[in-house]
Amino acid sequence: MKSNYFSRLAHFLPRIFPTSPTPRLVNFNPIAGVNIRARSTDVFWLFSFTVLLLFILLWGTATGSYQLSLLKSWQIVLSPDSAPERLVRIVWEFRLPRLLAAALCGAALAIAGVILQSITRNALASPGLIGVEAGASATMLLFVVIMPGLIPISLLPFSAMLGGFSVAALIWILSTMAGYSPIRLVLVGVGITSMLSAFSEMLITYGDIELVESALMWLGGSLHQVSWAQVEIMVWWLLVPGLLAWLFFRPLNLLILGDQVAFSRGVVHRKIIPFLLLLSVALTSASVATAGTLTFVGLIAPHIARRFCADRHGALIPLSALIGACLVALGDTLGRNVFAPLQLPAGLVLVMVGAPYFIVLMSRLKKV
């Protein structure tokens, strides 16, 4: 049992950093189903990335301006009543909320990326590409920079969600006026994203300098002001849409084969795609409202997950969520510690690491 575990683990790094043009995957037929070997492989990788995520979270609570051992950090997390008040405050009030928020936001963006890549059958589709992130960001900038104090701070996340939903609705209407097409959906999203990015730049240029400074920190994917209340809200915004997306893993397995194949198996794409798009918007808007713009997570996490479980969405969705959570939690931890006392936003760290990785990944894939 132990040797089998390490023999599987030996293939971990080649899959994360590919050296071959195409990933080594278990053969998968969405119509025939999943064999026993594929299921055992999926369980193994789900367990492995769960352990990795827990380690990153524990390491993140132990590192910072005040260093703790992993054992001490574990004890404080499990039994805060028996630890010194100062250490409890460091872990429970400052480090743990932002780490959990990072993991939740990363998981949400990863699931949104899986949905968008599957319904568009485009390997480059992501929440940032179709305008949802740009819509949520522009709406929050409008209220924070131009109309400060118009709505309470507690309602700002809902304004971001409203902006994300509005942009998604506009993109859907424009892309389906002449009949639904995955390519048209992506192209319309790119155009809307460009317009909203220009609008956001205009707001930043003419806004008050103090308000703009705080807005720029948020746009960079900073998590330093996250509270437990935001974590609790984000839990529900991840669980409900994420679980609903997972329940549709069989239709997603068929949609990647084409509309005709999916329709022949009873999947009416005109009914199911708007609902799946709505789930993706909910996940993305909640993440943007909590942590700002976290670029590349919704794009890279599904690609990494597919190297372990192909397009078996029953495993792809939770595995992508775990990988996305690991990426953002690790990015936030590195941003706090590598250049200390200077703290880099998690979004900036993800861009620095994610962009080169994605370039290498795309250069080695034969098809995108």
The reported pLDDT for the residue numbered 30 is 47
Whether residue 46 is contained in a domain is answered as no
Instruction: Spell out the alpha helix ranges (H) of 220-345.
Output: 228-247, 249-255, 259-264, 269-291, 297-309, 313-337
Check residue 235 and give left, alpha or beta (phi > 0: left; psi -120 to 50: alpha).
alpha
pLDDT at 153: 61
In a domain, 145, yes or no: yes
Q: What is the pTM of this model?
A: 0.84
Provide the residue range defining the domain that includes 216: 94-365
Structurally, the chain folds into a number of domains equal to 1
Q: Is 344 helix (H, G, I), strand (E, B) or coil?
A: coil
Q: Residue 268 domain-assigned?
A: yes
Specify whether the CB–CB gap between 127 and 133 falls below 8 A. Answer: yes
Q: Which residues of the chain have pLDDT under 70?
A: 1-38, 149, 151-157, 257-270, 361-362, 364-368
List Cα–Cα distances, 292 to 129, 157, 221, 299, in angstroms.
Answer: 15, 10, 5, 16
Query: Is 184 part of a structural domain of the chain?
Result: yes
Rounded distance, CA 6 to CA 341, Å?
Answer: 38
Angle at which helices 228-247 and 96-120 cross, to 10°: 30
Task: Report yes or no on 30 lying in a domain.
Answer: no
Q: How confident is the model at residue 324, as a pLDDT?
A: 94
Tokens of 229: 């209340």
Q: Which tokens in the block code for residue 80?
A: 């805060």
Within-domain flag for 65: no
Q: Is residue 250 included in any domain, yes or no?
A: yes
Q: With respect to residue 63, please indicate whether it lies within any of the assigned structural domains.
A: no
The CATH code of the domain that includes 168 is 1.10.3470.10
